[in-house]
Protein backbone atom coordinates (compact mmCIF):
# COMPACT_ATOMS: atom_id res chain seq x y z
CA UNK A 1 0.00 0.00 0.00
CA UNK A 2 1.32 3.44 -0.93
CA UNK A 3 1.17 6.04 1.77
CA UNK A 4 1.77 9.66 0.90
CA UNK A 5 1.73 12.06 3.77
CA UNK A 6 1.42 15.05 1.47
CA UNK A 7 2.31 18.27 3.18
CA UNK A 8 2.59 16.83 6.66
CA UNK A 9 5.34 18.66 8.37
CA UNK A 10 7.68 16.36 10.22
CA UNK A 11 9.67 17.77 13.06
CA UNK A 12 11.96 15.74 15.17
CA UNK A 13 13.17 18.69 17.19
CA UNK A 14 11.46 18.19 20.55
CA UNK A 15 12.17 21.79 21.53
CA UNK A 16 10.53 23.32 18.50
CA UNK A 17 7.70 24.68 20.67
CA UNK A 18 10.04 26.06 23.33
CA UNK A 19 10.25 25.17 26.98
CA UNK A 20 8.03 27.71 28.69
CA UNK A 21 5.94 26.61 31.67
CA UNK A 22 2.18 26.31 31.04
CA UNK A 23 -0.35 28.48 32.93
CA UNK A 24 -2.20 26.16 35.33
CA UNK A 25 -5.41 28.14 35.00
CA UNK A 26 -5.98 26.66 31.53
CA UNK A 27 -7.07 23.52 33.35
CA UNK A 28 -9.67 24.91 35.75
CA UNK A 29 -10.43 28.61 35.23
CA UNK A 30 -14.13 28.97 34.22
CA UNK A 31 -13.33 32.04 32.08
CA UNK A 32 -10.68 30.17 30.09
CA UNK A 33 -13.06 27.20 29.75
CA UNK A 34 -15.73 29.49 28.33
CA UNK A 35 -13.25 30.88 25.80
CA UNK A 36 -12.25 27.35 24.75
CA UNK A 37 -15.91 26.39 24.49
CA UNK A 38 -16.72 29.30 22.18
CA UNK A 39 -13.44 29.51 20.25
CA UNK A 40 -12.82 25.80 19.82
CA UNK A 41 -15.68 23.42 20.53
CA UNK A 42 -18.46 25.54 19.05
CA UNK A 43 -16.64 25.98 15.74
CA UNK A 44 -14.38 23.03 15.00
CA UNK A 45 -15.09 19.63 13.49
CA UNK A 46 -15.82 17.01 16.14
CA UNK A 47 -16.09 13.26 15.68
CA UNK A 48 -19.42 12.00 17.01
CA UNK A 49 -19.80 8.62 15.33
CA UNK A 50 -19.06 6.27 12.46
CA UNK A 51 -20.96 5.48 9.28
CA UNK A 52 -21.33 1.85 10.38
CA UNK A 53 -23.87 3.09 12.96
CA UNK A 54 -26.14 4.31 10.19
CA UNK A 55 -26.28 1.41 7.74
CA UNK A 56 -29.74 1.99 6.25
CA UNK A 57 -32.28 4.66 5.36
CA UNK A 58 -33.83 5.89 8.58
CA UNK A 59 -31.00 4.63 10.80
CA UNK A 60 -30.33 7.20 13.51
CA UNK A 61 -28.28 7.80 16.64
CA UNK A 62 -28.81 10.47 19.28
CA UNK A 63 -25.80 12.38 20.61
CA UNK A 64 -25.94 14.64 23.66
CA UNK A 65 -23.48 17.53 23.21
CA UNK A 66 -23.47 19.12 26.65
CA UNK A 67 -21.05 21.97 25.96
CA UNK A 68 -23.51 23.20 23.30
CA UNK A 69 -26.59 22.26 25.36
CA UNK A 70 -27.64 20.34 22.26
CA UNK A 71 -29.19 16.98 21.57
CA UNK A 72 -28.47 15.94 18.00
CA UNK A 73 -29.96 13.27 15.78
CA UNK A 74 -27.62 11.81 13.17
CA UNK A 75 -29.88 10.33 10.53
CA UNK A 76 -29.34 8.61 7.19
CA UNK A 77 -31.98 9.96 4.78
CA UNK A 78 -33.70 8.34 1.81
CA UNK A 79 -31.08 9.90 -0.44
CA UNK A 80 -28.35 8.11 1.53
CA UNK A 81 -27.08 11.40 2.97
CA UNK A 82 -26.19 11.59 6.64
CA UNK A 83 -27.59 14.69 8.35
CA UNK A 84 -27.16 16.07 11.85
CA UNK A 85 -30.36 17.68 13.13
CA UNK A 86 -31.32 19.21 16.41
CA UNK A 87 -33.56 16.90 18.43
CA UNK A 88 -35.96 19.80 18.93
CA UNK A 89 -39.43 20.00 17.41
CA UNK A 90 -39.87 23.28 15.55
CA UNK A 91 -43.39 23.75 17.00
CA UNK A 92 -42.45 24.35 20.64
CA UNK A 93 -39.13 22.64 21.10
CA UNK A 94 -40.05 19.23 22.47
CA UNK A 95 -37.30 16.66 21.99
CA UNK A 96 -38.49 14.19 19.39
CA UNK A 97 -36.95 11.08 20.89
CA UNK A 98 -35.02 9.89 23.90
CA UNK A 99 -34.00 6.68 22.16
CA UNK A 100 -30.24 6.32 21.79
CA UNK A 101 -30.43 4.77 18.36
CA UNK A 102 -32.80 2.98 16.02
CA UNK A 103 -34.39 3.07 12.61
CA UNK A 104 -37.45 5.10 11.62
CA UNK A 105 -39.17 6.27 8.45
CA UNK A 106 -40.24 9.51 10.21
CA UNK A 107 -39.88 11.31 13.55
CA UNK A 108 -43.14 12.31 15.24
CA UNK A 109 -43.19 14.73 18.14
CA UNK A 110 -45.09 13.23 21.08
CA UNK A 111 -46.60 16.58 22.13
CA UNK A 112 -48.80 17.64 19.15
CA UNK A 113 -47.71 15.07 16.61
CA UNK A 114 -45.79 17.19 14.13
CA UNK A 115 -44.03 14.66 11.90
CA UNK A 116 -40.65 15.10 10.22
CA UNK A 117 -38.90 13.12 7.47
CA UNK A 118 -35.44 11.62 7.68
CA UNK A 119 -34.19 14.75 5.90
CA UNK A 120 -35.72 16.98 8.58
CA UNK A 121 -38.60 18.28 6.43
CA UNK A 122 -41.91 18.86 8.21
CA UNK A 123 -44.19 16.33 6.52
CA UNK A 124 -47.41 16.85 8.43
CA UNK A 125 -48.81 18.81 11.35
CA UNK A 126 -52.38 18.51 12.64
CA UNK A 127 -54.54 21.54 11.82
CA UNK A 128 -51.52 23.27 10.31
CA UNK A 129 -53.75 25.82 8.52
CA UNK A 130 -54.25 27.59 11.84
CA UNK A 131 -50.54 28.50 12.01
CA UNK A 132 -49.13 31.57 10.34
CA UNK A 133 -46.00 29.83 8.98
CA UNK A 134 -44.94 27.41 6.27
CA UNK A 135 -43.79 23.82 6.44
CA UNK A 136 -40.54 24.86 4.76
CA UNK A 137 -39.83 27.28 7.60
CA UNK A 138 -40.48 24.54 10.15
CA UNK A 139 -37.90 21.96 9.00
CA UNK A 140 -35.67 20.60 11.75
CA UNK A 141 -32.64 22.78 12.37
CA UNK A 142 -29.47 21.25 10.97
CA UNK A 143 -25.84 21.28 12.00
CA UNK A 144 -22.97 20.90 9.53
CA UNK A 145 -21.90 17.29 9.11
CA UNK A 146 -19.31 15.53 6.96
CA UNK A 147 -17.55 12.18 6.80
CA UNK A 148 -13.88 11.30 6.42
CA UNK A 149 -12.40 7.83 6.79
CA UNK A 150 -15.78 6.49 7.88
CA UNK A 151 -15.85 8.93 10.79
CA UNK A 152 -18.78 11.33 11.16
CA UNK A 153 -17.85 14.87 12.17
CA UNK A 154 -20.19 17.70 13.14
CA UNK A 155 -19.53 21.42 13.41
CA UNK A 156 -21.86 24.05 14.91
CA UNK A 157 -20.19 26.94 13.10
CA UNK A 158 -17.75 25.80 10.42
CA UNK A 159 -14.94 28.18 9.55
CA UNK A 160 -13.76 25.84 6.79
CA UNK A 161 -14.73 22.50 5.24
CA UNK A 162 -13.81 19.26 7.00
CA UNK A 163 -11.27 18.49 4.25
CA UNK A 164 -9.61 21.88 4.67
CA UNK A 165 -9.66 21.47 8.43
CA UNK A 166 -8.01 18.05 8.34
CA UNK A 167 -5.58 18.94 5.54
CA UNK A 168 -3.26 16.02 4.75
CA UNK A 169 -4.58 14.13 7.77
CA UNK A 170 -7.70 13.40 5.71
CA UNK A 171 -5.74 11.19 3.35
CA UNK A 172 -4.21 9.40 6.30
CA UNK A 173 -7.64 8.80 7.86
CA UNK A 174 -8.96 7.28 4.67
CA UNK A 175 -6.17 4.72 4.60
CA UNK A 176 -6.76 3.52 8.13
CA UNK A 177 -8.61 0.29 8.83
CA UNK A 178 -11.25 2.30 10.70
CA UNK A 179 -12.44 3.65 7.35
CA UNK A 180 -13.65 0.13 6.57
CA UNK A 181 -15.00 -0.70 10.03
CA UNK A 182 -18.39 -2.35 10.25
CA UNK A 183 -18.83 -2.64 14.01
CA UNK A 184 -17.25 -1.55 17.31
CA UNK A 185 -17.08 -1.95 21.05
CA UNK A 186 -17.65 1.18 23.12
CA UNK A 187 -16.73 2.22 26.64
CA UNK A 188 -17.92 5.60 27.95
CA UNK A 189 -16.71 7.18 31.18
CA UNK A 190 -16.96 10.48 33.03
CA UNK A 191 -14.32 11.89 35.30
CA UNK A 192 -13.66 14.95 37.41
CA UNK A 193 -11.00 16.58 35.29
CA UNK A 194 -10.61 19.21 32.63
CA UNK A 195 -10.85 17.75 29.12
CA UNK A 196 -7.17 18.53 28.46
CA UNK A 197 -6.04 16.81 31.68
CA UNK A 198 -7.74 13.66 30.47
CA UNK A 199 -6.59 13.99 26.87
CA UNK A 200 -2.97 14.78 27.88
CA UNK A 201 -2.80 11.53 29.80
CA UNK A 202 -3.01 9.71 26.46
CA UNK A 203 -0.52 12.00 24.72
CA UNK A 204 2.54 11.19 26.83
CA UNK A 205 4.29 7.97 27.76
CA UNK A 206 6.30 9.47 30.62
CA UNK A 207 3.88 7.96 33.15
CA UNK A 208 3.74 4.44 31.76
CA UNK A 209 6.46 2.80 33.82
CA UNK A 210 5.07 4.19 37.07
CA UNK A 211 1.33 3.75 36.61
CA UNK A 212 0.93 0.68 34.43
CA UNK A 213 3.25 -2.16 35.51
CA UNK A 214 0.30 -4.12 37.01
CA UNK A 215 -1.81 -4.15 33.85
CA UNK A 216 1.04 -4.82 31.45
CA UNK A 217 0.34 -1.52 29.75
CA UNK A 218 3.71 -0.05 30.70
CA UNK A 219 5.28 -0.36 27.23
CA UNK A 220 8.71 -0.29 28.85
CA UNK A 221 11.82 -2.00 27.50
CA UNK A 222 15.50 -1.83 28.47
CA UNK A 223 16.32 0.02 25.26
CA UNK A 224 13.58 2.58 25.90
CA UNK A 225 12.87 2.60 29.64
CA UNK A 226 10.16 5.24 29.46
CA UNK A 227 8.53 3.79 26.34
CA UNK A 228 8.90 7.14 24.59
CA UNK A 229 7.60 7.40 21.03
CA UNK A 230 10.22 6.96 18.36
CA UNK A 231 9.04 9.90 16.31
CA UNK A 232 6.54 12.75 16.29
CA UNK A 233 5.09 15.12 13.72
CA UNK A 234 3.23 18.38 14.09
CA UNK A 235 0.80 19.39 11.41
CA UNK A 236 -1.09 22.63 11.95
CA UNK A 237 -3.61 21.93 14.69
CA UNK A 238 -3.03 18.19 14.50
CA UNK A 239 -0.15 15.94 15.50
CA UNK A 240 1.09 12.35 15.35
CA UNK A 241 3.60 10.16 17.12
CA UNK A 242 4.97 6.74 16.30
CA UNK A 243 4.70 4.36 19.22
CA UNK A 244 7.97 2.55 19.76
CA UNK A 245 7.93 -1.22 19.99
CA UNK A 246 10.72 -3.63 20.78
CA UNK A 247 10.85 -5.99 17.79
CA UNK A 248 12.35 -8.72 19.99
CA UNK A 249 9.85 -8.39 22.82
CA UNK A 250 8.27 -11.62 23.92
CA UNK A 251 4.55 -11.61 24.44
CA UNK A 252 3.51 -12.84 27.86
CA UNK A 253 2.64 -16.54 27.55
CA UNK A 254 -0.85 -15.98 28.98
CA UNK A 255 -1.54 -13.44 26.24
CA UNK A 256 -0.20 -15.54 23.45
CA UNK A 257 -3.33 -17.44 22.54
CA UNK A 258 -5.48 -14.40 22.49
CA UNK A 259 -3.01 -12.46 20.36
CA UNK A 260 -2.75 -15.36 17.96
CA UNK A 261 -6.50 -15.53 17.57
CA UNK A 262 -6.80 -11.80 17.17
CA UNK A 263 -3.84 -11.72 14.82
CA UNK A 264 -5.25 -14.42 12.56
CA UNK A 265 -8.44 -12.45 12.18
CA UNK A 266 -6.61 -9.18 11.61
CA UNK A 267 -4.18 -10.77 9.18
CA UNK A 268 -7.17 -11.87 7.12
CA UNK A 269 -8.19 -8.21 6.98
CA UNK A 270 -4.72 -7.24 5.76
CA UNK A 271 -4.14 -5.07 8.78
CA UNK A 272 -1.14 -6.61 10.45
CA UNK A 273 1.36 -5.13 8.03
CA UNK A 274 -0.44 -1.81 7.74
CA UNK A 275 2.08 1.00 7.25
CA UNK A 276 0.32 3.14 9.84
CA UNK A 277 0.18 0.30 12.35
CA UNK A 278 2.18 2.14 15.05
CA UNK A 279 0.87 5.64 14.38
CA UNK A 280 -0.95 7.59 17.06
CA UNK A 281 -2.89 10.35 15.31
CA UNK A 282 -4.28 13.27 17.32
CA UNK A 283 -6.91 15.38 15.56
CA UNK A 284 -7.57 18.70 17.20
CA UNK A 285 -9.24 19.23 19.51
CA UNK A 286 -10.39 16.04 21.19
CA UNK A 287 -9.90 12.86 19.14
CA UNK A 288 -7.01 10.50 18.82
CA UNK A 289 -6.70 7.27 16.89
CA UNK A 290 -4.25 4.49 17.46
CA UNK A 291 -4.93 1.91 14.81
CA UNK A 292 -2.37 -0.65 15.88
CA UNK A 293 -2.23 -4.15 14.42
CA UNK A 294 -4.06 -5.42 17.49
CA UNK A 295 -7.02 -3.08 17.49
CA UNK A 296 -8.36 0.15 16.04
CA UNK A 297 -8.55 2.33 19.09
CA UNK A 298 -10.28 5.73 19.03
CA UNK A 299 -10.77 8.04 21.96
CA UNK A 300 -12.77 11.27 22.09
CA UNK A 301 -12.89 13.54 25.13
CA UNK A 302 -15.81 15.95 25.49
CA UNK A 303 -15.78 18.83 27.97
CA UNK A 304 -18.67 18.80 30.45
CA UNK A 305 -17.42 21.81 32.40
CA UNK A 306 -14.10 23.37 33.48
CA UNK A 307 -13.34 20.35 35.68
CA UNK A 308 -15.46 17.59 34.21
CA UNK A 309 -15.15 15.52 31.04
CA UNK A 310 -16.59 12.51 29.30
CA UNK A 311 -14.45 10.08 27.33
CA UNK A 312 -15.70 7.79 24.60
CA UNK A 313 -13.39 4.91 23.83
CA UNK A 314 -14.12 2.77 20.83
CA UNK A 315 -12.50 -0.28 19.31
CA UNK A 316 -13.56 -0.56 15.69
CA UNK A 317 -13.63 -3.88 13.88
CA UNK A 318 -14.03 -5.07 10.32
CA UNK A 319 -16.60 -7.83 9.98
CA UNK A 320 -18.83 -9.44 12.55
CA UNK A 321 -17.62 -11.97 15.11
CA UNK A 322 -17.58 -15.07 13.00
CA UNK A 323 -16.13 -17.39 15.59
CA UNK A 324 -15.95 -17.63 19.35
CA UNK A 325 -12.21 -16.95 19.06
CA UNK A 326 -12.78 -13.66 17.27
CA UNK A 327 -15.40 -12.68 19.78
CA UNK A 328 -13.08 -13.54 22.64
CA UNK A 329 -10.14 -11.69 21.11
CA UNK A 330 -12.21 -8.55 20.62
CA UNK A 331 -13.76 -8.63 24.08
CA UNK A 332 -10.33 -9.22 25.53
CA UNK A 333 -8.89 -6.21 23.70
CA UNK A 334 -11.54 -3.95 25.22
CA UNK A 335 -11.15 -5.51 28.67
CA UNK A 336 -7.42 -4.83 28.50
CA UNK A 337 -7.95 -1.18 27.59
CA UNK A 338 -10.41 -0.76 30.47
CA UNK A 339 -7.92 -2.39 32.81
CA UNK A 340 -5.11 -0.03 31.77
CA UNK A 341 -7.43 2.97 31.87
CA UNK A 342 -8.57 2.11 35.40
CA UNK A 343 -5.00 2.86 36.47
CA UNK A 344 -5.06 6.28 34.78
CA UNK A 345 -8.32 7.66 36.15
CA UNK A 346 -7.08 8.05 39.73
CA UNK A 347 -3.93 9.99 38.84
CA UNK A 348 -5.71 12.19 36.31
CA UNK A 349 -8.30 13.20 38.91
CA UNK A 350 -5.60 13.65 41.56
CA UNK A 351 -3.77 15.95 39.15
CA UNK A 352 -6.94 17.93 38.62
CA UNK A 353 -7.50 18.34 42.37
CA UNK A 354 -3.93 19.59 42.80
CA UNK A 355 -4.26 22.08 39.96
CA UNK A 356 -7.76 23.18 40.96
CA UNK A 357 -6.48 24.05 44.45
CA UNK A 358 -4.83 27.07 42.86
CA UNK A 359 -1.52 26.16 44.51
CA UNK A 360 0.33 26.15 41.19
CA UNK A 361 0.80 29.03 38.85
CA UNK A 362 2.40 26.86 36.17
CA UNK A 363 2.75 23.28 34.97
CA UNK A 364 5.79 21.89 33.18
CA UNK A 365 6.12 19.68 30.12
CA UNK A 366 9.39 17.97 29.33
CA UNK A 367 10.58 17.55 25.75
CA UNK A 368 8.92 14.14 25.31
CA UNK A 369 5.60 15.65 26.37
CA UNK A 370 5.63 17.83 23.27
CA UNK A 371 2.22 16.63 22.12
CA UNK A 372 0.69 18.05 25.33
CA UNK A 373 2.53 21.32 24.73
CA UNK A 374 1.28 21.41 21.16
CA UNK A 375 -2.35 20.99 22.26
CA UNK A 376 -1.99 23.96 24.61
CA UNK A 377 -0.31 26.04 21.93
CA UNK A 378 -3.13 25.37 19.45
CA UNK A 379 -5.78 26.15 22.09
CA UNK A 380 -4.04 29.47 22.81
CA UNK A 381 -3.94 30.31 19.10
CA UNK A 382 -7.59 29.44 18.58
CA UNK A 383 -8.69 31.52 21.58
CA UNK A 384 -6.52 34.42 20.47
CA UNK A 385 -7.96 34.34 16.93
CA UNK A 386 -11.49 34.16 18.32
CA UNK A 387 -11.00 37.16 20.61
CA UNK A 388 -9.44 39.15 17.79
CA UNK A 389 -12.47 38.51 15.59
CA UNK A 390 -15.27 38.55 18.16
CA UNK A 391 -14.02 40.05 21.41
CA UNK A 392 -13.80 37.99 24.60
S1 LIG B 1 -43.95 20.70 20.50
FE2 LIG B 1 -43.74 19.26 18.92
S3 LIG B 1 -45.68 19.14 18.04
FE4 LIG B 1 -45.90 20.63 19.58
FE1 LIG C 1 -1.88 5.67 31.13
The residues, any chain, with a CB within 8 Å of residue 187's CB and separated by 6 or more, are 312, 313, 314, 334, 337, 338, 341
pLDDT category, 300, cuts 50, 70, 90?
A: very high
CATH of 1-43+168-392, one of 3.10.450.50, 3.90.380.10, 3.40.190.10, 2.40.160.60: 3.90.380.10
The binding-site residues of ligand 1, defined as CB within 6 angstroms of any ligand atom, are 89, 91-92, 94, 109, 111-112, 114
Q: Which residue has the higher pLDDT, 252 or 113?
A: 113
256 pLDDT above the threshold of 90: no
pLDDT category, 336, cuts 50, 70, 90?
A: confident
pLDDT on residue 228: 87
96 pLDDT above the threshold of 90: yes
pLDDT on residue 201: 97
pLDDT category, 5, cuts 50, 70, 90?
A: very low
- CA–centroid distance, residue 342 to ligand 2 (Å): 9
- CA–centroid distance, residue 175 to ligand 2 (Å): 27
Neighbour tally for 250: CB within 10 Å = 7
Separation between Cα atoms, residue 269 and residue 223, nearest integer Å: 32
- CA–centroid distance, residue 152 to ligand 1 (Å): 29
Arithmetic mean of pLDDT, 80-98: 98
Domain boundaries, the chain: 1-43+168-392, 45-158
pLDDT on residue 197: 98
3-class secondary structure, 159 = coil
Looking at ligand 1, which residue's alpha carbon is closest to its atom 4?
112
Ligand closest in space to the Cα of 227: 2
pLDDT on residue 327: 84
Arithmetic mean of pLDDT, 343-358: 98
Instruction: Label residues 128-155 b or e (16+ Cβ within 10 Å = b).
Output: eeeeeeebeebbbeebebbbbbbbbbbb
pLDDT on residue 224: 80
175 pLDDT above the threshold of 90: no
Arithmetic mean of pLDDT, 242-269: 57
The residues, any chain, with a CB within 8 Å of residue 381's CB and separated by 6 or more, are none
The minimum-distance atom of ligand 1 relative to the CA of 109 is 2
pLDDT category, 191, cuts 50, 70, 90?
A: very high
Arithmetic mean of pLDDT, 101-108: 98
Arithmetic mean of pLDDT, 106-131: 98
Separation between Cα atoms, residue 297 and residue 325, nearest integer Å: 20
Q: Phi, psi (5° rounding) for residue 300? A: -120, 135
The minimum-distance atom of ligand 1 relative to the CA of 92 is 1
Ligand closest in space to the Cα of 214: 2
297 pLDDT above the threshold of 80: yes
- CA–centroid distance, residue 277 to ligand 2 (Å): 20
CATH class of 45-158: mainly beta
The minimum-distance atom of ligand 1 relative to the CA of 125 is 3
3-class secondary structure, 371 = helix
Separation between Cα atoms, residue 135 and residue 118, nearest integer Å: 15
pLDDT on residue 275: 52
pLDDT on residue 267: 53
Strand intervals (E) in 205-268: 231-235, 238-242
Alpha carbons within 13 angstroms on the beta-carbon side of residue 258 total: 17
The sheet with strand 106-108 has its strands ordered as 106-108, 115-117, 122-124
Out of 112, 120, 133, mutate this one to test ligand 1's pocket (max ligand atoms within 8 Å of CB): namely 112
3-class secondary structure, 363 = strand
- CA–centroid distance, residue 208 to ligand 2 (Å): 6
Out of 109, 115, 131, mutate this one to test ligand 1's pocket (max ligand atoms within 8 Å of CB): namely 109
- CA–centroid distance, residue 155 to ligand 1 (Å): 26
- CA–centroid distance, residue 369 to ligand 2 (Å): 13
Share of the chain above pLDDT 90, in %: 69
349 pLDDT above the threshold of 50: yes
pLDDT in tens, 32-65: 999 999 999 999 999 999 999 999 999 999 999 9
Looking at ligand 1, which residue's alpha carbon is closest to its atom 3?
112
The sheet with strand 46-50 has its strands ordered as 46-50, 151-155, 142-148, 82-86, 70-76, 59-65, 101-103
Q: Which stretch of DSSP H or E encloses residue 269? A: none
Burial (CB count <10 Å: 0-12, 13-18, 19+), residue 83: buried
Q: Among candidates 127, 102, 105, 133, which has minimal Cα distance to 117?
A: 105
pLDDT on residue 254: 47
- CA–centroid distance, residue 33 to ligand 2 (Å): 24
222 pLDDT above the threshold of 90: no
Q: Which residue has the higher pLDDT, 112 or 325?
A: 112
Q: Among candidates 168, 161, 183, which has minimal Cα distance to 51?
A: 183
Neighbour tally for 14: CB within 10 Å = 15
The minimum-distance atom of ligand 1 relative to the CA of 93 is 1
Looking at ligand 1, which residue's alpha carbon is closest to its atom 1?
92
160 pLDDT above the threshold of 50: yes
pLDDT category, 4, cuts 50, 70, 90?
A: very low
pLDDT on residue 84: 98
The minimum-distance atom of ligand 1 relative to the CA of 94 is 1
The residues, any chain, with a CB within 8 Å of residue 21's CB and separated by 6 or more, are 362, 363, 364
Each as own residue / partner, the long-range contacts of residues 263-271 (CB below 8 Å, 24 or more positions apart, any chain) are 263/293, 263/294, 264/325, 265/319, 265/325, 265/326, 265/329, 266/293, 266/294, 269/177, 269/318, 269/319, 271/177, 271/318
**Chain mean pLDDT for the chain:** 89
pLDDT category, 153, cuts 50, 70, 90?
A: very high
Q: Which residue has the higher pLDDT, 35 or 278?
A: 35
CB 287 within 8 A of CB 268: no
Q: What is the pTM (predicted TM-score) of this model?
A: 0.92
pLDDT on residue 245: 67
326 pLDDT above the threshold of 80: no
Separation between Cα atoms, residue 87 and residue 140, nearest integer Å: 8
Arithmetic mean of pLDDT, 12-23: 87
Separation between Cα atoms, residue 313 and residue 101, nearest integer Å: 18
Amino acid sequence: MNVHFGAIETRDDPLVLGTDPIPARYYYDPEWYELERKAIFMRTWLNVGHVCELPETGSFVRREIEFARASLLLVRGKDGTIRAMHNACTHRGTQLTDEECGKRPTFSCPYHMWTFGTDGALLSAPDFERFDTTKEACALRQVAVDVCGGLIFINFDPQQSLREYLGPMAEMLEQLPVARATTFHEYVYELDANWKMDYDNFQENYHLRFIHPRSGGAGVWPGNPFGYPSHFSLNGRHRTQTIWADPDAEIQPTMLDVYKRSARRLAADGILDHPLGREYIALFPNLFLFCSPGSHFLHTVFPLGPEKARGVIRLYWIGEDETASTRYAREFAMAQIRDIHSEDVGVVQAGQRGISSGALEYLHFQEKEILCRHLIKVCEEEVEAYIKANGA
